[in-house]
Each structure stands twice: as structure tokens, then as C-alpha cells.
Amino acid sequence: MGSILALENGLRMGSTIISRFSAQWTANFSDLQLMFVDLIMEAHSSVTPEPEASQRPWKTVVALMGGGTASVVPGDWQRLLRIAAGLHGVKLDIRLSPDAAKRLVVRQLRGSPPDGLLVWANEVRDPSAFIEPYLTARPGSYAEVLGMKNSVEPFPDYVAELLLHVEKISGVGRERAAQTKMTWALAAKRIESLEAPHFILTPRAKKSFPGNPYPDARRMLGFIEKLEQLAQLYSTSEGNLGQRLEDAAASRAQIEISLFDSSLTPPTIELDGNTYSAVPHVKVDDFKSPDKCGRIYFAIDSSRNRFIVDHIGLHDYG
């Protein structure tokens, strides 16, 4: 990824001189997206994300954001979010202060439901008040919260999380993925190959692979691979990521994790003479029916800088 500074007629009339080229390199596609967003933000404000004339129309995602005033989501933030969504062929329809016009917004979501819905958890009082009527009007569609309740994250983390959501909504790469059927037997081999000192799978986790009730083995495998990447970062940094683990998960692994689940009392894990509890979890899906709501529960061993995965599948340990 690079930017070029060129001067027309720099040497002579009709010629161009390139006076500067700055490049950044990465082997991580997620990092590439963020670098591209940062670069294009330097472009003139007239540059907006939109499909080419020959392309099919983009999918539309409504984002309910902001509290009582538009200043909660500055204009340059809104433009940045739209550019990020545009990378995946998604038009982001940002609607500010939805609580102030709740009836109207709900009526619009029911009457003309978009392809997806995102609700900013920290600025909207009750995200489910918008998500539930939307899913009633368009069952099976994508609806999630952006960020976490009562938690103000650095804005780049919201951008990283948005990229994760729009990638799922857009279906980029889905056709290629569909060419090879991913069964749980194949996924199990891939998941077990990730085991390392920093990433442990308990016997309970491995036992869940045959006949796993979570319906999309490929999707679950993708989240497991990203959790392993986060575990590797946690291990190499000796547990000092320079930011909260939840923030690092969103910005560097593009997954959403929570360290608590008040609704669950997981069984204990006995490993190397120590006892652990797998309460932290990856949110594979939210606001889905119980037979489609995925979770990965794991324990964090801070003394050995490793993650211990104990459950891969549906929301609970059942």
C-alpha cells in the first residue's frame, strides 16, 4: 500500500515527475484494509465510496448511532465509516439519534428493511428495541451491535469492528468458499492443527467436533483461527498487548470477545495441576435463534500466557 506524490509538467510540458513514494507493507489482509482507509481519508472530501457504473448496486446497511446530538459522531468519523463499508461494496446509511425518533425509525425498518442493521451499543439505550422488529420484518438478516455497552473505545477500534461486520454482510469470498464444502470433520482437523503452547484445546472442546450442532463449520473455523492469532499476540507480548484484550481482539484480530457471561456457569478445567474457568468468549453470532447463536468459550492463563479453549459451538455448553 503506497501513496505517490507526482507533479504534472515537472520536467517539461507533457511529462510528470514523481517526487515521493511512500510504501507500507503487511501480510495481513485486515491490516491492509485499515491502511487503505487511513490513506483514502487524506483524499479530497468529494471522494466518496460508490459502485462503478458497471457494478450491481451495493447492499445497504443502516447504522443507528449517536445520542442526543450529531456531534457525538463527527462528520469526518461518518465519512471514515462509509469509506470502510465501501471497501466491501456496502452502502452505510448512518442515522443519528435514533432514540429521539424511535417510532419513525422502527416503522422504517419494518416497512423497508435494509440488507443489514448495526446499532451503536454505547449510545443507543436499548439496541434490541430496533434489532428485534427489524429481524421480524426480515428474518435471517444480519443485525448486530457495534461496540459494547458502557464502554467507549478508541475510534479506530470501531472502524475495525465495522469492517468485520460488513465483510459478513457483503458475502465477499462467499462464492469461493462455497466451492469446497466444509464439514465438521474437516474443520476439526484444521482446528486441531492450530494447537500450540499458546493455544490449548481441552478434551471437552475436541469431543464437541463430531456432530457439532453449530450449522456453519467454515464460519466457526474462521473465528477459531482469529482467536489463535490473538493468542499468539498475547503470548509473544507476555500478556502486555498495550491495550485491553477486548480492544486488541477487535482491532488486531477482527473478532468481538467478552470477558464475562453472567448467564453461564461453565464447568471447571483441570490442566497441569491448575483449575481454570472458561468464561471469556468469542461472540460468533448475536441476536440469532438458539440453534444459530455461536460461541467459543476459553480461559486465559496469565501465568503461562496462553488461551485454553474449552467450548466451540452454540451459545452454551449443552
Contact 239, 203 (CB under 8 A): no
pLDDT at 31: 73
**Model pTM?**
0.55
| 65 to 69, 121, 217: CA distances (angstroms) | 10, 8, 32
The least confident of 100-104, 144-148, 172-176, 253-257 is 172-176
Mean pLDDT, the chain, rounded, equals: 85
**In the structure, what pLDDT confidence band is assigned to residue 176 with cuts at 50, 70 and 90?**
very low
List the grid coordinates of 99.
432514540
The DSSP letter of residue 118 is E
pLDDT at 172: 55
pLDDT digits (tens, 9 = 90+) for 240-276: 999 999 988 988 888 899 998 877 788 899 999 999 9
The least confident of 32-41, 209-218, 294-303 is 32-41
Q: What is the mean pLDDT of residues 97-117?
A: 93
* Ramachandran bin of 103, using left for φ above 0, alpha for ψ from -120 to 50, beta for the remaining angles: alpha
> At residue 229, does pLDDT exceed 80?
yes
Contact 31, 8 (CB under 8 A): no
For cell 482446528, the residue is 191
DSSP output for 147-196: SBTTB---HHHHHHHHHHHHHHHHTTTHHHHHTS---HHHHHHHHHTT-B
The DSSP letter of residue 112 is S
pLDDT at 175: 45
> At residue 41, does pLDDT exceed 90?
no
pLDDT at 173: 46
